[in-house]
Structure 1
Amino acid sequence: MPLCYFDSEMVKFIGAHCKNFSELKVLWPFMVDLAKAIAASIPNLKVLSLQCSLVEKEAFVYILNNMKNLEMLYLCHCLIVDEGLPIPGYAYVARALDNSKIERASRMKKFLFCDADSCRIRQLIFVTGVSSGWSDFGIWPRDTVSALAAH
Protein backbone atom coordinates (compact mmCIF):
# COMPACT_ATOMS: atom_id res chain seq x y z
CA MET A 1 0.00 0.00 0.00
CA PRO A 2 2.39 2.72 -1.16
CA LEU A 3 1.73 6.44 -1.45
CA CYS A 4 -1.95 6.28 -0.82
CA TYR A 5 -4.01 7.05 2.19
CA PHE A 6 -4.06 3.82 4.13
CA ASP A 7 -6.16 3.85 7.27
CA SER A 8 -8.20 1.66 9.57
CA GLU A 9 -11.30 1.96 7.34
CA MET A 10 -9.36 0.48 4.41
CA VAL A 11 -8.15 -2.34 6.67
CA LYS A 12 -11.73 -3.04 7.77
CA PHE A 13 -12.79 -3.19 4.11
CA ILE A 14 -10.00 -5.65 3.33
CA GLY A 15 -10.97 -7.78 6.33
CA ALA A 16 -14.63 -7.83 5.34
CA HIS A 17 -14.11 -8.60 1.64
CA CYS A 18 -10.84 -10.54 1.38
CA LYS A 19 -11.22 -13.53 3.67
CA ASN A 20 -8.01 -15.25 2.47
CA PHE A 21 -5.87 -12.12 2.81
CA SER A 22 -2.60 -13.22 4.42
CA GLU A 23 0.24 -10.88 3.38
CA LEU A 24 0.43 -7.10 3.70
CA LYS A 25 3.15 -4.63 2.81
CA VAL A 26 2.73 -1.11 4.20
CA LEU A 27 4.86 1.90 3.28
CA TRP A 28 2.92 4.36 5.36
CA PRO A 29 3.31 5.52 8.97
CA PHE A 30 2.40 2.52 11.07
CA MET A 31 0.63 3.88 14.10
CA VAL A 32 -1.25 2.12 16.90
CA ASP A 33 -4.71 2.74 15.39
CA LEU A 34 -3.63 0.98 12.19
CA ALA A 35 -2.10 -1.90 14.20
CA LYS A 36 -5.36 -2.31 16.14
CA ALA A 37 -7.41 -2.30 12.93
CA ILE A 38 -5.19 -4.95 11.36
CA ALA A 39 -5.36 -7.17 14.45
CA ALA A 40 -9.15 -6.86 14.60
CA SER A 41 -9.95 -7.03 10.88
CA ILE A 42 -7.26 -9.34 9.49
CA PRO A 43 -6.52 -11.65 12.44
CA ASN A 44 -5.14 -14.42 10.23
CA LEU A 45 -2.49 -12.24 8.63
CA LYS A 46 0.68 -14.30 8.22
CA VAL A 47 3.13 -11.75 6.78
CA LEU A 48 3.54 -8.06 7.55
CA SER A 49 6.22 -6.02 5.79
CA LEU A 50 6.81 -2.50 7.12
CA GLN A 51 10.14 -1.83 5.43
CA CYS A 52 11.13 1.85 5.31
CA SER A 53 8.10 2.89 7.35
CA LEU A 54 7.89 5.13 10.35
CA VAL A 55 6.68 2.75 13.08
CA GLU A 56 5.23 3.82 16.38
CA LYS A 57 6.76 1.61 19.08
CA GLU A 58 3.34 1.02 20.68
CA ALA A 59 2.01 -0.22 17.31
CA PHE A 60 4.89 -2.72 17.06
CA VAL A 61 4.20 -3.96 20.60
CA TYR A 62 0.48 -4.20 19.83
CA ILE A 63 1.20 -6.41 16.82
CA LEU A 64 3.50 -8.60 18.92
CA ASN A 65 0.87 -9.03 21.61
CA ASN A 66 -2.21 -9.47 19.44
CA MET A 67 -1.29 -11.05 16.11
CA LYS A 68 -0.95 -14.68 17.18
CA ASN A 69 -1.02 -16.00 13.59
CA LEU A 70 1.66 -13.64 12.31
CA GLU A 71 4.59 -15.72 11.07
CA MET A 72 6.79 -13.08 9.51
CA LEU A 73 7.48 -9.45 10.32
CA TYR A 74 9.81 -7.37 8.16
CA LEU A 75 10.98 -4.24 9.97
CA CYS A 76 14.12 -3.32 7.99
CA HIS A 77 15.03 0.33 7.35
CA CYS A 78 12.28 1.53 9.72
CA LEU A 79 12.30 4.48 12.04
CA ILE A 80 10.87 3.43 15.39
CA VAL A 81 9.45 6.33 17.39
CA ASP A 82 8.06 6.34 20.89
CA GLU A 83 4.85 8.22 20.17
CA GLY A 84 3.20 9.90 17.23
CA LEU A 85 4.66 11.38 14.09
CA PRO A 86 7.78 13.51 14.35
CA ILE A 87 7.10 17.18 13.69
CA PRO A 88 8.99 18.40 10.60
CA GLY A 89 11.74 20.82 11.52
CA TYR A 90 11.91 19.67 15.13
CA ALA A 91 14.32 17.23 16.70
CA TYR A 92 12.88 13.90 17.70
CA VAL A 93 14.32 10.80 19.23
CA ALA A 94 14.25 7.46 17.45
CA ARG A 95 14.33 4.65 19.95
CA ALA A 96 15.98 1.34 19.21
CA LEU A 97 14.01 -1.77 19.94
CA ASP A 98 14.93 -3.13 23.32
CA ASN A 99 16.16 -6.70 23.63
CA SER A 100 12.93 -8.04 25.19
CA LYS A 101 10.88 -6.90 22.16
CA ILE A 102 13.45 -8.31 19.73
CA GLU A 103 13.46 -11.61 21.62
CA ARG A 104 9.64 -11.83 21.53
CA ALA A 105 9.53 -11.01 17.82
CA SER A 106 12.30 -13.53 17.14
CA ARG A 107 9.91 -16.32 18.16
CA MET A 108 8.12 -15.85 14.84
CA LYS A 109 9.14 -18.05 11.94
CA LYS A 110 10.89 -15.03 10.46
CA PHE A 111 11.65 -11.62 11.96
CA LEU A 112 13.85 -9.24 10.00
CA PHE A 113 15.15 -5.92 11.22
CA CYS A 114 18.30 -3.90 10.86
CA ASP A 115 20.40 -2.05 13.40
CA ALA A 116 19.06 1.49 13.45
CA ASP A 117 22.50 3.00 13.97
CA SER A 118 24.17 1.29 11.03
CA CYS A 119 21.36 1.12 8.48
CA ARG A 120 22.40 3.44 5.65
CA ILE A 121 19.01 3.42 3.93
CA ARG A 122 17.22 4.31 7.15
CA GLN A 123 19.70 7.13 7.78
CA LEU A 124 19.16 8.58 4.30
CA ILE A 125 15.39 8.34 4.42
CA PHE A 126 14.67 9.54 7.93
CA VAL A 127 17.69 11.35 9.31
CA THR A 128 19.60 13.26 6.65
CA GLY A 129 16.65 14.14 4.47
CA VAL A 130 18.80 13.44 1.41
CA SER A 131 16.25 11.02 0.08
CA SER A 132 12.63 11.62 -0.74
CA GLY A 133 11.89 8.16 0.63
CA TRP A 134 12.00 4.50 -0.31
CA SER A 135 11.34 5.24 -3.99
CA ASP A 136 14.87 6.67 -4.41
CA PHE A 137 16.31 3.27 -3.63
CA GLY A 138 13.95 1.16 -5.70
CA ILE A 139 12.83 -0.49 -2.47
CA TRP A 140 9.14 -0.87 -3.28
CA PRO A 141 9.67 -3.63 -5.88
CA ARG A 142 12.24 -5.42 -3.72
CA ASP A 143 11.16 -7.34 -0.68
CA THR A 144 12.45 -10.33 1.21
CA VAL A 145 8.90 -11.65 1.05
CA SER A 146 8.85 -12.97 -2.51
CA ALA A 147 5.07 -12.65 -2.84
CA LEU A 148 5.35 -8.94 -2.02
CA ALA A 149 8.20 -8.23 -4.45
CA ALA A 150 7.59 -7.10 -8.01
CA HIS A 151 8.55 -9.77 -10.53
Structure 2
Amino acid sequence: MTVREVSSVELQAIGENCRNLTTMKFTTMLSKDLANIIVCNFPSLERLSFRCNYACIDASMSLIIGLPNLKIFNLSHCIFPQNTTGILGMRPKDELVQAGTKKLVRFMVCCSDCTICQDVWKQANNPNRYKLEFRYVKERWKTDEIKELEL
Protein backbone atom coordinates (compact mmCIF):
# COMPACT_ATOMS: atom_id res chain seq x y z
CA MET A 1 0.00 0.00 0.00
CA THR A 2 1.33 3.44 -0.96
CA VAL A 3 0.11 6.36 1.15
CA ARG A 4 0.41 9.88 -0.23
CA GLU A 5 -1.96 12.30 1.44
CA VAL A 6 -4.31 10.83 4.00
CA SER A 7 -5.68 12.27 7.21
CA SER A 8 -4.91 10.72 10.57
CA VAL A 9 -8.58 9.68 10.89
CA GLU A 10 -8.45 7.91 7.51
CA LEU A 11 -5.18 6.22 8.40
CA GLN A 12 -6.60 5.03 11.71
CA ALA A 13 -9.64 3.63 9.87
CA ILE A 14 -7.35 1.77 7.45
CA GLY A 15 -5.44 0.37 10.43
CA GLU A 16 -8.63 -0.78 12.15
CA ASN A 17 -9.84 -2.56 9.02
CA CYS A 18 -6.53 -3.89 7.69
CA ARG A 19 -4.84 -5.28 10.82
CA ASN A 20 -2.79 -7.77 8.78
CA LEU A 21 -1.26 -5.18 6.45
CA THR A 22 2.47 -5.93 6.26
CA THR A 23 3.87 -3.47 3.70
CA MET A 24 3.46 0.31 3.43
CA LYS A 25 5.17 3.10 1.52
CA PHE A 26 4.63 6.73 2.48
CA THR A 27 5.31 9.74 0.29
CA THR A 28 4.83 12.20 3.12
CA MET A 29 6.92 13.49 6.03
CA LEU A 30 7.58 11.09 8.90
CA SER A 31 6.46 13.04 11.97
CA LYS A 32 6.03 11.96 15.58
CA ASP A 33 2.25 12.02 15.18
CA LEU A 34 2.36 9.82 12.09
CA ALA A 35 4.73 7.39 13.80
CA ASN A 36 2.33 7.10 16.76
CA ILE A 37 -0.59 6.36 14.43
CA ILE A 38 1.44 3.72 12.60
CA VAL A 39 2.62 2.02 15.81
CA CYS A 40 -0.90 1.98 17.30
CA ASN A 41 -2.77 0.89 14.17
CA PHE A 42 -0.41 -1.26 12.11
CA PRO A 43 1.21 -3.79 14.47
CA SER A 44 1.75 -6.34 11.67
CA LEU A 45 3.96 -4.11 9.51
CA GLU A 46 7.08 -5.89 8.29
CA ARG A 47 8.21 -3.52 5.52
CA LEU A 48 8.01 0.27 5.70
CA SER A 49 9.39 2.97 3.41
CA PHE A 50 9.68 6.75 3.72
CA ARG A 51 12.14 7.10 0.82
CA CYS A 52 12.97 10.73 -0.20
CA ASN A 53 11.15 12.51 2.61
CA TYR A 54 11.75 14.48 5.74
CA ALA A 55 12.15 11.95 8.55
CA CYS A 56 12.02 12.96 12.19
CA ILE A 57 14.68 11.00 14.06
CA ASP A 58 12.51 10.49 17.15
CA ALA A 59 9.65 9.26 14.96
CA SER A 60 11.99 6.85 13.18
CA MET A 61 13.15 5.48 16.54
CA SER A 62 9.52 5.07 17.64
CA LEU A 63 8.83 2.92 14.58
CA ILE A 64 11.91 0.75 15.08
CA ILE A 65 11.12 0.20 18.76
CA GLY A 66 7.31 0.14 18.56
CA LEU A 67 6.68 -2.16 15.59
CA PRO A 68 7.45 -5.68 16.82
CA ASN A 69 7.30 -7.30 13.36
CA LEU A 70 9.24 -4.63 11.43
CA LYS A 71 12.03 -6.27 9.42
CA ILE A 72 12.78 -3.78 6.63
CA PHE A 73 12.80 0.02 7.03
CA ASN A 74 13.76 2.33 4.16
CA LEU A 75 14.89 5.87 4.96
CA SER A 76 17.00 6.22 1.80
CA HIS A 77 17.51 9.76 0.52
CA CYS A 78 15.76 11.33 3.53
CA ILE A 79 16.51 14.65 5.15
CA PHE A 80 16.61 14.46 8.94
CA PRO A 81 15.66 17.57 10.94
CA GLN A 82 18.47 18.02 13.45
CA ASN A 83 16.78 20.32 15.94
CA THR A 84 13.80 22.60 16.50
CA THR A 85 15.44 25.57 14.77
CA GLY A 86 14.92 23.90 11.40
CA ILE A 87 18.56 23.25 10.58
CA LEU A 88 18.60 20.17 8.41
CA GLY A 89 21.01 17.34 7.83
CA MET A 90 21.32 14.41 5.48
CA ARG A 91 22.71 12.00 8.05
CA PRO A 92 20.68 10.39 10.82
CA LYS A 93 22.05 10.28 14.33
CA ASP A 94 24.27 7.34 15.20
CA GLU A 95 21.71 6.10 17.74
CA LEU A 96 19.14 5.69 14.97
CA VAL A 97 21.55 3.77 12.76
CA GLN A 98 22.59 1.54 15.66
CA ALA A 99 18.99 0.82 16.68
CA GLY A 100 17.99 0.07 13.10
CA THR A 101 20.89 -2.21 12.31
CA LYS A 102 20.60 -4.01 15.65
CA LYS A 103 16.89 -4.89 15.38
CA LEU A 104 16.05 -5.00 11.68
CA VAL A 105 16.98 -7.40 8.90
CA ARG A 106 17.46 -4.43 6.52
CA PHE A 107 17.74 -0.78 7.52
CA MET A 108 18.37 1.56 4.61
CA VAL A 109 19.87 5.02 5.02
CA CYS A 110 22.31 6.74 2.72
CA CYS A 111 26.01 7.36 3.11
CA SER A 112 27.50 10.83 2.81
CA ASP A 113 28.57 10.35 -0.83
CA CYS A 114 25.08 9.45 -2.15
CA THR A 115 24.57 11.57 -5.29
CA ILE A 116 20.77 11.60 -4.93
CA CYS A 117 21.07 12.96 -1.38
CA GLN A 118 23.59 15.57 -2.46
CA ASP A 119 21.11 16.79 -5.07
CA VAL A 120 18.28 16.87 -2.52
CA TRP A 121 20.52 18.74 -0.04
CA LYS A 122 21.30 21.40 -2.66
CA GLN A 123 17.57 21.92 -3.21
CA ALA A 124 16.89 22.09 0.53
CA ASN A 125 19.50 24.82 1.04
CA ASN A 126 18.30 26.97 -1.84
CA PRO A 127 16.96 30.14 -0.14
CA ASN A 128 14.77 30.97 -3.17
CA ARG A 129 12.66 27.85 -2.73
CA TYR A 130 9.31 28.39 -1.05
CA LYS A 131 8.73 24.71 -0.39
CA LEU A 132 11.17 21.82 -0.73
CA GLU A 133 10.05 19.45 -3.46
CA PHE A 134 11.86 16.17 -3.87
CA ARG A 135 12.35 15.73 -7.58
CA TYR A 136 12.93 12.04 -6.94
CA VAL A 137 9.55 11.59 -5.29
CA LYS A 138 7.77 13.18 -8.22
CA GLU A 139 9.78 11.49 -10.95
CA ARG A 140 10.67 8.16 -9.38
CA TRP A 141 8.17 7.44 -6.62
CA LYS A 142 7.37 4.10 -8.22
CA THR A 143 10.87 2.81 -7.49
CA ASP A 144 11.95 1.73 -4.05
CA GLU A 145 14.81 -0.15 -2.48
CA ILE A 146 12.21 -2.53 -1.03
CA LYS A 147 11.26 -4.78 -3.96
CA GLU A 148 7.72 -5.40 -2.64
CA LEU A 149 7.07 -1.65 -3.02
CA GLU A 150 8.22 -1.41 -6.66
CA LEU A 151 5.35 -0.51 -8.97
TM-score interval for Structure 1 and Structure 2 normalised by the shorter chain? 0.7 to 0.9
Of the candidates 103, 108, 114, which is equivalent to residue 119 of structure 1? 114
Does the 8 Å CA contact 2:79/2:89 hold for their aligned counterparts? yes
The answer as to whether partners of 2:73 and 2:106 remain within 8 angstroms in 1 is: yes
> Who is 1:74 aligned against?
74
Alignment correspondent of 1:12: 12
The 5 A counterparts of 1:93-132 are 93-94=88-89, 96-106=91-101, 107-115=103-111, 117-128=112-123, 132=133
Q: TM-score, normalised by structure 1?
A: 0.81
Render the CA deviation track for 1:44-91: whole Å, top value 9, x for unaligned: 1111011001001111111122111111101100001135694xxxxx
Q: Aligned pairs, how many?
A: 142
- In 1, the alpha carbon distance for the partners of 2:38 and 2:19 equals 13
CA distance in structure 2 between the partners assigned to 1:41 and 1:8 by the alignment: 11
Structure 1 gap segments, 5+ residues each: 87-91
Distance 1:149 1:9, change over 3 A: same
**SS of equivalent residue, structure 1 residue 73:** strand
- Secondary structure of 1:55's counterpart equals coil
The answer to which of 124-133 and 104-113 deviates more is 124-133
- Residue in structure 2 matched with residue 89 of structure 1 by the alignment: none
Residues 91 and 110 in structure 2, CA contact (< 8 A), matched pair in contact too: no
C-alpha deviation, 1:105, in angstroms: 0.5
Distance in 2, matches of 1:84 and 1:26, equals 23
Amino acid at match of 1:48: L
The residue number in structure 1 matching 2:129 is none
Offset of 1:43 from its aligned partner?
A: 1.0
- Identity over aligned pairs, percent: 20
Map of 1:10-49 to 2, 5 A cutoff?
A: 10-49=10-49
What is the TM-score of this pair, normalised by structure 2?
A: 0.81
**Residues 16 and 85 of structure 1: is their aligned pair in 2 closer, same or farther, counting only changes over 3 Å?**
farther
Q: Which moved more, 1:141-150 or 1:92-101?
A: 92-101
- Contact persistence 2:90–2:121 (CA under 8 A): no
